[in-house]
Amino acid sequence: MSQTRQLSEADRTADPAQEAARRRTFAVISHPDAGKSTLTEALALHARVISEAGAVHGKAGRRGVVSDWLSMERTRGISITSAALQFEYHDHVINLLDTPGHADFSEDTYRVLSAVDCAVMLLDSAKGLEPQTVKLFDVCRHRGIPVITFVNKWDRPGREALELCDELRDRIGLRPMPLTWPVGIAGDFRGVLDRRDGEFVGFERTSGGATVAPEHHMSADEAAERVGDEWQRATEESELLTESGDDMDVAAFARAEASPVLFGSAVQNFGVRHLLDVLLEHAPAPSARPDEHGNPRRIDEPFSAFVFKVQTGMDPAHRDRVAFARVCSGEFERGLVATHAGTQRSFSTKYAQQMFGQQRDTVERAYPGDVIGLVNASALGVGDTLYTGKPAVRFPGMPQFTPEHFAVARTTDPGRSKQFRRGLEQLVQEGVIQLLHSETRGEGAPVLAAVGPMQFDVVTQRMESEFRSPLKLEQLPYTVVRRVGDPGQRAMLHTHSSEVLDRADGTTLAVFTDEISMRSLQRLKPELDLRHVVADTE
């Protein structure tokens, strides 16, 4: 691992509160194809922790981006699983969490958003706010997470900058506060007007966008002379923004009511430096985090952390299991013995690693805001809390989304039934899929439940490649899910268009082919106690 990414010597004896002030922990959220993984890598490039950007997916002969390590991500060109990257930039420690953009993996993204202090919302300059972006922003709003907006792909044809800002205000009620403003329409990108000092910042394109785009700065007078009409238009639009009250308001940003807006091109590696600087200047540092009772856990209290992600298969040579934990308070030191809040058993942290995508290095110490990887942590699951000292602390668990797609899973090789069960159990612990059991189908035919159908593709691919247990899936026709309030009514719910399934957490679910079937059964049997499956995601 590059020395740049390792924590400095000062970290070895630092005060947790002082170190927390140096941390910036954020996620990048967007609709698929907005350029999220490309931006993630451009940020790492600007921080000089990699020397050359990876390929935009699909270009032959170029490697994939560092945050996409799963084989399906490389072949399909989309992010399927979240990734953690940590590096230093201007004496700050950046914890960057890349997230899946596809709606089928919303559950993974939601878990990541529980572990960050800020989010970067990435917009495609031609498409603006897209459905998945709006959904993820709603989660940020619900959790009070401040959002920085980065308008990407300004080097390609797109919409008007003012129109995009109006869309933020009109569609999601977020007041835009542009800090940079594009000079040149989308597709004719000359550079940006830095509204904080009035300078023009231009850039030079590099071969394939593989390296940082060199910048050149000009005063307003120089820009007016050299850039001409495009500079004049940019300054007039900037003045209009000031008149409309859209200048930076730090307090409104902290309240998640307004968003700093920047323009750039991740594939050209321009505008990314501005984004990093804004993150350092305005994104909140880690602070007290509420426990499950709403009581704040101060960052200077003894060590505590919660697991927001579990992943296997990151190292194909060892097939180890990594639990990603966000440090919430105190100092983490490798080897410390913590208490598992759920079981009250001791947990040793001997194998702790600092993550940089698929790459990893042993981490000796970590502080609030940092994300650490606990290796071979079979006792840990998503939502678990670790802590030291007294009193005990437990952070809120992770809700499960309401599934919308169902399939029966069967092994194609009866001789590998143990691997079949073990593999599915592992994927359930990671949160890749939900596993349901049916009294009528039996243990050999569990029902897989998913938010989106692409989750089934991930399960099929990973069961074959990682667990050497190919399976076949039989899609089920169910589209409506309800929680059964009275498990004694199970027999009443078995019909030709409905079925009763049990989740591992003890929840009994009734699934129906459609709303009409459910309502028809309720009319025939009005005593049925059916309730909505509620998750705290909105």
* 100-153 per-position pLDDT tens digit: 655 666 677 888 899 999 999 999 999 999 988 888 898 899 889 999 999 999
pLDDT of residue 358: 60
Backbone phi, then psi, for 484, in 5-degree steps?
-85, 115
Q: Which two tokens stand for residue 23?
A: 């941390």
Average pLDDT, integer, range 420-424: 91
Q: Which pLDDT band holds residue 82 (cuts at 50, 70, 90)?
A: low
Q: Which two tokens stand for residue 151?
A: 């308008």
Which of the two residues, 531 and 318, has the higher pLDDT score?
Answer: 531
Residue 202 CA to chain centroid, in angstroms?
31
184: left (phi over 0), alpha (psi -120 to 50) or beta: left
**Rounded distance, CA 522 to CA 519, Å?**
5
Task: Name the superfamily (CATH) of residues 26-83+96-285.
Answer: P-loop containing nucleotide triphosphate hydrolases (3.40.50.300)
Cα 15 from Cα 246, distance rounded (Å): 38
Q: What is the pLDDT of residue 304?
A: 98
Fold of 405-531: Alpha-Beta Plaits (3.30.70)
What DSSP letter does each residue of 164-202 carry, written as one string? HHHHHHHHH--EEEESEEEES-TTS--EEEETTTTEEEE
Instruction: Count CA atoms closer than 13 A to 154's CA, side-chain side.
Output: 26
List binding-site positions: 98-102
pLDDT digits (tens, 9 = 90+) for 14-57: 799 999 999 999 999 888 888 888 898 888 888 877 666 553 33
The pLDDT mean for the chain works out to 86
490 by Cβ neighbours in 10 Å (0-12 / 13-18 / 19+) ranks as middle
Range 215-229 average pLDDT: 94
Smallest Cα–Cα separation from 280: which of 76, 396, 118? 118
Q: Domain spans of the chain? A: 26-83+96-285, 290-387, 405-531
Tracing tokens 């835009």 back to the chain, one arrives at: 176
Spatial contact of 294 and 310, defined as CB atoms under 8 Å apart: no
> What fold does the segment set 290-387 form as a domain?
Elongation Factor Tu (Ef-tu); domain 3 (2.40.30)
Residues making up the binding site for GTP: 98-102
DSSP letters, 83-118, are EEEEEEETTEEEEEEE---SGGGHHHHHHHHTT-SE
* pLDDT in the model for residue 26: 96
Q: Are 87 and 110 in contact (CB under 8 A)?
A: no
pTM, two decimals, is 0.82
pLDDT at 99: 74
pLDDT for res 102 = 56
pLDDT at 220: 95
Instruction: Decide if pLDDT at 315 tops 80.
Output: no
Q: By mean pLDDT, which of 40-54, 203-217, 239-253 is the weakest?
A: 40-54
pLDDT at 59: 37
Peptide bond before 16: cis, by omega within 30 degrees of 0?
no
Tens-digit pLDDT profile for residues 440-465: 888 889 999 998 888 898 899 889 98
